[in-house]
A and B are shown apart, each in its own frame.
Chain A
Amino acid sequence: GQQLNQSPQSMFIQEGEDVSMNCTSSSIFNTWLWYKQEPGEGPVLLIALYKAGELTSNGRLTAQFGITRKDSFLNISASIPSDVGIYFCAGLSVGTYKYIFGTGTRLKVLA
């Protein structure tokens, strides 16, 4: 089935560093979502994007909806230990009801 290409698969960074991850798709999307998942829990929404070129922030997190509508990125600035988790992108194709998820970026922050 269709899946998004999300990279990197994992990241080990020092506390205070900035983080960047991205997702690309062969299909055009009209919605991009970014989620964080912690152990034993369901994914929790971080940022939702609805328009090509849109740049949205949520605290130290910033995400952008790519101009081509086939990609999106998430940046985390000044990482802290509680940023640890798995980050997922998800996209919604035009005219469908199905959100497709990326394979996730596992983030570890070293204090």
Chain B
Amino acid sequence: NAGVTQTPKFQVLKTGQSMTLQCAQDMNHEYMSWYRQDPGMGLRLIHYSVGAGITDQGEVPNGYNVSRSTTEDFPLRLLSAAPSQTSVYFCASSYRTPSSSYNSPLHFGNGTRLTVT
């Protein structure tokens, strides 16, 4: 059971380049989300999804796109990278029961460390 898998682990981009951060989970979790972690800022929510075909914005969505075509995968796209997007990116998933508001704790991947020069 791999849990939440993020690729790549490290990436260096030049300003203006695009790339996709991959996230896959094998726990059949409905809920998936992307956070960025910056020193002194904790974890800030970028985008999230409550199921295939459904996505919504978090606190800091600008400059990022997401899609959810399958339950397992939730890629994060940077269309035109900027130095302000230098950060560590975490994907997290959880189980959510359809009939209640219960949200199981988030399971995190090990992160992608992105540097934009």
Contacts and interface: CB of A to CB of B under 8 A. Distances in A.
A104 interface: yes
B53 interface: no
Given A41-B110, A42-B110, A43-B108, 14 more contacts: A1-B45, A3-B42, A4-B42, A6-B42, A40-B111, A43-B106, A44-B108, A90-B106, A97-B31, A99-B33, A99-B106, A101-B35, A101-B43, A103-B42
Contacts of A73: none
A35 B45 CA distance: 16
B103 A97 contact: yes
Contact of B60 (A1, A94, A103, A104): A1
B103 A92 contact: yes
Contact of A33 (B31, B58, B96, B106): B106
A102 B35 CA distance: 13
B108 A30 contact: no
Contacts of A45: 105-107
Given A1-B60, A42-B110, A102 B42 contact: yes
A1 B108 CA distance: 21
A90 B43 CA distance: 9
Interface in A1-25: 1-4, 6, 9
Contact of A88 (B43, B59, B110): B43
Given A2-B59, A97-B48, A103-B41, A48 B108 contact: no
B90 interface: yes
Contact of B45 (A33, A50, A100): A100
A95 interface: yes
A45 B111 CA distance: 15
Interface in B26-61: 31, 33, 35, 40-45, 48, 50, 56, 58-60
